[in-house]
């Protein structure tokens, strides 16, 4: 591996020499053991001559077999920790047919997740849901958790399309951040239903998203549904009824919405973020159901990511502030169109005040004499070393720096 060509210190993948252009994912969800049993078939293409291996990011994945889709032959592999790397990797030997630049291959990987190490997946007991009857699962891959559920080039500098089939218990519904292609009974197990998905817009791994639960939906616009447990459907549909207005306003500013559907998922209360911009399916905290639409601006923010972040993406995590900065800018442009210019200024002013207050508090705690400069560079250093800053901190900081 040529270290000079590395751009993302959070990934071990040799994406300078080979890229994953598409992944096909077959998943069986097992709640009692809290595991995903999966087969991932990666379409790879070499970018240079002489690439002998495919190195993927991988945390806690118990790999049972790796083979070539084309020939069926087994491919040698090793899970290992490279010196100086943040997390382990899966090193797969490529056949000699991949020696030349532009060679293509399907690499099939069979594996299970490890419930102790799979940070991407949150498993909820029935008691942690609103309905109290069924278990629930949701994923949060941003920033670098996708590698704990999928062997992948876990860097935002690589984007892939994907397709997926997810098998879940019949009483449950599976959704992904993708176009929904329908469901059918499992071919050999009558207790399971298989849901199919396709994402035709290439996405970085951190936008891979899955949710499984006793979910229901209600249409809230020509291209939007709200999804949640049935107890919350009506309330959520009312709260986010202005979604289409916001989507249309964004299109007036930055052009056509290219992802087809724009659905909203309202999660159980344990979801740790206000919102997550998973493609086609924004994940939202139920704390946004204020009953008066006063927090619906989060929708403006999350749908703005459909352009800034999801279509045009930071190359590595040190530059994540660009995702949030441009998104916050677009969120306010939507506010100006849907409400008025004063609302845009009010939002900007409010976030700036909150940011300055936060920085002053931190400076006091750190006993710093130059709070903003010191804190800024501390954050940059932490990111360069592989640390991940929080979504909200970045938005607030960017708000103050750009307003
Ligand atoms: Zn954001």
What domains can be seen in the chain, in order of their start residue?
A: 3-213 (2.60.40.1730), 317-402 (no CATH)
Q: Ligand 1 center to residue 108 CA distance, Å?
A: 34
pLDDT at position 363: 65
Residue 15 three-state SS: coil
pLDDT at position 350: 77
Q: Ligand 1 center to residue 310 CA distance, Å?
A: 10
For the whole model, what pTM was predicted? 0.88
pLDDT at position 109: 98
pLDDT at position 42: 98
Q: Ligand 1 center to residue 302 CA distance, Å?
A: 6
Tokens encoding 210: 């899955």
| Tens of pLDDT, residue by residue, the chain (403 residues) | 454 455 799 999 999 999 999 999 999 999 999 999 999 999 999 999 999 999 999 999 999 999 999 999 999 999 999 998 999 999 999 999 999 999 999 999 999 999 999 999 999 999 999 999 999 999 999 999 999 999 999 999 999 999 999 999 999 999 999 999 999 999 999 999 999 999 999 999 999 999 999 999 999 999 999 999 999 999 999 999 999 999 999 999 999 999 999 999 999 988 888 999 999 999 999 999 999 999 988 999 999 999 999 999 999 998 899 999 999 999 999 999 998 888 888 888 877 777 666 666 766 666 655 444 444 444 544 454 444 344 444 554 454 444 4
Q: Ligand 1 center to residue 303 CA distance, Å?
A: 9
If we measure between CA atoms, which residue out of 138, 273, 315, 154 comes closest to residue 212?
138
**Which residues are known binding-site members for Zn(2+)?**
301, 305, 324
Q: Ligand 1 center to residue 62 CA distance, Å?
A: 33
If we measure between CA atoms, which residue out of 284, 248, 282, 210 comes closest to residue 29?
210
- Cβ neighbours for 396, distance < 8 A, ≥ 6 positions apart: 351, 354, 355, 358
Beta strands in 222-301 (DSSP E): 224-229, 263-266, 275-276, 281-284
CB burial class (10 A; 0-12, 13-18, 19+) of residue 235? middle
Strand order in the sheet with 53-57: 53-57, 89-93, 77-80
DSSP secondary structure letter of residue 155 = S
Contact 230/131 with Cβ under 8 angstroms?
A: yes
With residue 394 as reference, give the H or E element that holds it: helix 391-402
Nearest-angstrom CA–CA distance, 186 and 90: 30
DSSP secondary structure letter of residue 278 = -
Q: How far is CA 51 from CA 43, 75, 365, in A?
A: 15, 15, 50
**Which residues are known binding-site members?**
301, 305, 324
pLDDT at position 340: 87
Q: Ligand 1 center to residue 331 CA distance, Å?
A: 10
Q: Ligand 1 center to residue 306 CA distance, Å?
A: 10
Q: Ligand 1 center to residue 341 CA distance, Å?
A: 21
Give the position of tokens 């949150």: 122
Q: Ligand 1 center to residue 307 CA distance, Å?
A: 11
């Amino acid at each position: 591996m040529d270290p000079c060509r590395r751009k993302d210190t959070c990934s071990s993948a040799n994406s300078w020499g080979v890229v994953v252009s598409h992944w096909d994912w077959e998943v069986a969800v097992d709640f009692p053991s809290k595991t995903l049993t999966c087969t991932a078939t990666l379409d790879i293409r070499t970018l240079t001559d002489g690439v002998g291996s495919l190195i993927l990011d991988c945390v806690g994945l118990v790999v049972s077999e790796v083979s070539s889709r084309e020939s069926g032959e087994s491919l040698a592999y090793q899970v290992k920790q490279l010196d100086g790397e943040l997390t382990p990797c899966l090193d797969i030997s490529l056949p000699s047919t991949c020696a030349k630049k532009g060679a293509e291959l399907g690499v099939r990987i069979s594996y299970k997740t490890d419930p102790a190490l799979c940070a991407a997946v949150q498993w909820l007991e029935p008691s942690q849901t609103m309905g109290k009857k069924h278990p629930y699962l949701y994923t949060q891959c941003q920033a670098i958790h996708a590698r704990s559920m999928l062997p992948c080039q876990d860097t935002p500098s690589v984007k892939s399309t994907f397709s997926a089939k997810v098998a879940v218990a019949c009483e449950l519904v599976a959704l992904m951040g993708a176009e929904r292609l329908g469901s059918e009974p499992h071919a050999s197990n009558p207790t399971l239903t298989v849901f199919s998905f396709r994402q035709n817009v290439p996405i970085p791994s951190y936008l891979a998203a899955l949710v499984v639960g006793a979910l229901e939906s209600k249409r809230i616009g020509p291209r939007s549904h709200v999804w949640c447990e049935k107890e919350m459907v009506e309330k959520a549909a009312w709260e986010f009824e202005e979604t289409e207005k916001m989507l249309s306003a964004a299109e007036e500013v930055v052009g056509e919405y290219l992802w087809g559907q724009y659905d909203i998922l309202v999660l159980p209360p344990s979801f740790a973020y206000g919102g997550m911009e998973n493609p086609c399916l924004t994940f939202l905290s139920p704390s946004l159901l204020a009953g008066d639409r006063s927090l619906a601006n989060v929708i403006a923010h999350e749908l703005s990511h459909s352009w800034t972040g999801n279509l045009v993406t930071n190359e590595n995590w040190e530059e994540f502030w660009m995702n949030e900065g441009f998104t916050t800018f677009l969120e306010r442009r939507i506010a100006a169109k849907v409400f008025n210019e004063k609302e845009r200024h009010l939002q900007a002013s409010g976030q700036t005040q909150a940011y300055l207050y936060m920085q002053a508090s931190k400076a006091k705690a750190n006993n710093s004499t130059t709070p903003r400069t010191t804190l800024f560079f501390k954050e940059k250093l932490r990111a360069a070393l592989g640390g991940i800053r929080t979504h909200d901190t970045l938005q607030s900081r960017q708000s103050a720096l750009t307003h």
